Structure 1
């Protein structure tokens, strides 16, 4: 079970760093917020929906 947790934390840190990279390139706060909301909605559906 510990190996699975390490992999999940590594994936989360990778996604976090990719988000930081995107925000360095994307200077607009509006588009950053829009991207954040879209990713949160997509992540919710991918994580919680079984269909």
Structure 2
């Protein structure tokens, strides 16, 4: 279950990075980074 949740968080982070290219916002940048880091950590653990 943790690996699946990590993969979902990682994919959400990638989607936020793609959305960030359209509109730059500091909150989106921080939340995308957190989703990528948390998802990667949970998936690879």
TM-score in terms of structure 2 length? 0.50
Larger Cα-atom Rg: 1
**Which runs of 5 or more residues in structure 2 are unaligned?**
29-45
**Which runs of 5 or more residues in structure 1 are unaligned?**
37-51
Instruction: Say whether residues 1:25 and 2:22 are aligned partners.
Output: yes
Runs of 4+ in 1 over 4 A off after TM superposition: none
RMSD: 1.6
Cα-to-partner distance string for 1:4-48 (whole Å, 9 max, x where unaligned):
011000000000000000001114x3xx64xx4xxxxxxxxxxxx
CA distance in 2, matches of 1:8, 1:24: 25
CA distance in 1, matches of 2:21, 2:10: 17
* Residue correspondences, number: 28
- Partner residue of 1:15? 12
